[in-house]
């Protein structure tokens, strides 16, 4: 009888599909520099940008940028979105906090920063702070290379009038797990 039970268990394990759909998750993204210019938003970038504005409010600050020089920004290859928020306004700071706390939550499988990883977020810059995936989204002070000192830097370069979100190539194309069934 005991052997029969073991045989049934083994046959069930061999026939049953693997239960991995929700627990499989992308690793933390590395930095992927921009090289080739692609002046249109990729499908994942476009979807995520509009989803963020619909779900959390704020404004659509744009995705792609023209190819007028060497591609040095993820905007120039369709992998970045600027979410119009004002860091001096309480409601916009709350929007950013709510969004980031959601995407940086640990899921029920113990995956830290689960939605951010599933979305293919490479980094976020908001209000003088950068959240890079390659450092597990730990916040670090941010100063644009175009600014000699923070007080002389514009609110745009300080990312105080928008939240900048850059995606990996796979995330921008909508090929990461968060986009399954959405595109």
The pLDDT of 23-51, averaged and rounded, is 92
| CA 26, chain centre distance (Å) | 12
18 secondary structure, DSSP code: P
d(CA 141, CA 163) in angstroms, rounded, equals: 14
Q: What is the pLDDT of residue 67?
A: 80
Res 9 pLDDT > 70 = no
Q: Which domain holds residue 61?
A: 2-179
- Which of 170, 62, 60, 74 has the alpha carbon at shortest distance from 118? 170
The pLDDT of 153-176, averaged and rounded, is 96
**Structural domain count, the chain:** 1
Res 94 pLDDT > 60 = yes
Report for 14-28, 35-49, 65-79, 106-120: range of highest mean pLDDT = 106-120
Percent above pLDDT 90 for the chain: 71
Residue 102 CB contacts under 8 Å (≥ 6 apart), including other chains: 115
């Amino acid at each position: 009888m005991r052997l029969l039970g073991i045989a049934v268990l083994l046959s069930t394990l061999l026939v049953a599909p693997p239960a991995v759909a929700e627990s499989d998750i992308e690793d933390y993204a590395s930095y992927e520099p921009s090289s080739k210019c692609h002046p249109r938003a990729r499908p994942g970038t476009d979807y995520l940008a509009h989803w963020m504005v619909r779900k959390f409010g704020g404004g659509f600050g744009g995705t792609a940028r023209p190819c007028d020089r060497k591609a040095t920004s993820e905007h120039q290859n369709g992998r970045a979105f600027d979410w119009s928020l004002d860091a001096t306004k309480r409601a916009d700071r709350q929007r950013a906090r709510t969004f980031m706390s959601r995407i940086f939550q640990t899921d029920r499988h113990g995956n830290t920063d689960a939605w951010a990883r599933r979305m293919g977020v490479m980094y976020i810059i908001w209000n003088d702070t950068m959240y890079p995936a390659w450092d597990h989204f730990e916040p670090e002070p941010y100063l644009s290379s175009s600014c000699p000192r923070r007080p002389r830097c514009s609110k745009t370069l300080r990312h105080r009038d928008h939240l900048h979100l850059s995606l990996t190539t796979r995330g921008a194309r909508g090929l990461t797990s968060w986009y399954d069934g959405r595109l």
